[in-house]
């Protein structure tokens, strides 16, 4: 098993180092949150292509088959049955954000902090007007995550799909949070505020972060000044009516903001 993972990692490293990718401070995103909210869960972008744009980030899979978290060059699929597996390059995504992470600021948090206190640290050390990549490694006193469940056609809107999501709670768990702070003006494109995913250190559990408290940890932040948004070519996207009317209510309900 170790040999398989080592081989896959080597394959990813080869892909992400290909010439033409932007290695510095670019955030790359495929599709938009507004399309995902409407039930557009079928993308044409493979993880092999996504990895050319970054090896760190979050997202989901076609048919909404779980949560994605990527860091240190590895991509993981966290499924609603609680399983975790390494993503295969040929898998497809309808929505993901990635970058090549190089922290600009490292903050050690050595006292117990709740979610709001960590959010305040992030807000103090980043701009509300930039996208910021976030990595938080630590020992979590509590962690509650959710994982969306694979959907079949006709796809329901995300708010309905999320009503059946699986929620998991952990206590005294080590692991890594990966995510982004998104500006309010990007509503419709992303999830304004913090959007975070978690993977336990033993790589056996995780998901989209709903709530947590931290005993101690290491917070790393990277401001992103370039935003590369790739929009779907599918008729489903091109011909759909995307409206911001219910976006903020729906995204808050679905993402737990
Ligand atoms: Zn998420």
pLDDT single digits (tens) 110-145: 999 999 999 999 999 999 999 999 999 999 999 999
Name the nearest CA neighbour of 227 among 131, 95, 122, 103.
131
CA of 135 to the centre of ligand 1 (A): 15
| pTM passes above 0.85 | yes
For residue 112, the CA-to-ligand 1 centroid distance in Å is 25
Distance 105 CA to ligand 1 centre (A): 24
What lies within 8 Å, CB to CB, of 256 at 6+ separation is 146, 208, 210, 211
- Give distance in angstroms: CA of 147 to centre of ligand 1: 8
Q: Which residue has the higher pLDDT, 20 or 161?
A: 161
Cα separation of 235 and 242, whole Å? Answer: 13
CA 92 – ligand 1 centroid, Å: 16
**CB 194 within 8 Å of CB 179:** yes
Helices first, then strands: H and E counts in the chain: 7, 15
Measured in Å, residue 196 CA sits from the centre of ligand 1 at 6
- H or E element, residue 141: strand 131-147
State the Cα–Cα distance between residues 79 and 145, nearest whole angstrom: 12
Cα 31 to the center of its chain, rounded Å: 13
B/e letters for 154-192, b = 16+ CB within 10 Å, e = fewer, are ebbebbebbeebeebebeebebbbbbbbbbeebbbbbbb
Using the mean position of ligand 1's atoms as its centre, give its distance from the Cα of residue 11 in Å. Answer: 26
The predicted structure's pLDDT at residue 245:
78
Question: Which phi and psi (to 5°) does residue 105 adopt?
Answer: -145, 135
Chain segment 40-87, per-residue pLDDT in tens: 999 999 999 999 999 999 999 999 999 999 999 999 999 998 899 999
Cα(6) to centroid(ligand 1), Å: 27
Using the structure block, give the residue that is written with the tokens 């490292």.
106
Residue 247 has pLDDT above 80, yes or no: no
Mean pLDDT score, 89-104: 97
pLDDT of residue 257: 52
Tell me the C-alpha distance between 150 and 200, whole Å: 22
What is the 27 CA–ligand 1 centroid distance (Å)?
16
Whole-number pLDDT of residue 18: 44
Alpha carbon of 96 to ligand 1 centroid (Å): 9
Residue 68 Cα to ligand 1 midpoint, Å, equals: 8
Q: Which residue has the tokens 């989209």?
A: 208
| pLDDT digit string, tens, across residues 189-242 | 999 999 999 999 999 999 999 999 999 999 999 999 999 999 999 988 999 988
């Amino acid at each position: 098993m170790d040999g398989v993972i080592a081989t896959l990692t080597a394959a990813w490293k080869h892909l992400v180092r290909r010439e033409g990718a932007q290695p510095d401070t670019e955030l790359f995103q495929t599709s938009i949150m507004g399309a995902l909210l409407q039930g557009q869960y079928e993308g044409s972008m493979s993880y092999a292509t996504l990895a050319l744009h970054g090896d760190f980030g979050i997202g989901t899979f076609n048919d909404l088959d779980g949560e994605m978290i990527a860091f240190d060059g590895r991509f993981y699929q966290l499924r609603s049955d609680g399983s975790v597996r390494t993503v295969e390059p040929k898998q497809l995504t309808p929505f993901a954000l990635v970058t090549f992470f190089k922290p600009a600021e490292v903050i050690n948090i050595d006292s117990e902090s709740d979610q709001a206190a960590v959010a305040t640290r992030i807000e103090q050390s980043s701009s509300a007007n930039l996208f910021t990549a976030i990595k938080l490694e630590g020992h979590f006193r509590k962690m509650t995550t959710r994982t969306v469940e694979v959907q079949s056609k006709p796809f329901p809107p995300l708010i309905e799909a999320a009503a059946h999501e699986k929620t998991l709670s952990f206590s005294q768990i080590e692991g890594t949070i990966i995510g982004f702070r998104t500006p309010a003006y990007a509503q419709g494109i992303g999830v304004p505020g913090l959007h975070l995913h978690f993977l336990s250190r033993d790589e056996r559990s995780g998901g989209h972060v709903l709530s947590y408290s931290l005993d101690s940890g290491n917070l790393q932040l990277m401001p992103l000044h370039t935003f590369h948004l790739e929009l779907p070519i599918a008729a489903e996207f091109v011909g759909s009516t995307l409206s911001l009317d219910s976006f903020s209510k729906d995204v808050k309900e679905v993402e737990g903001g």
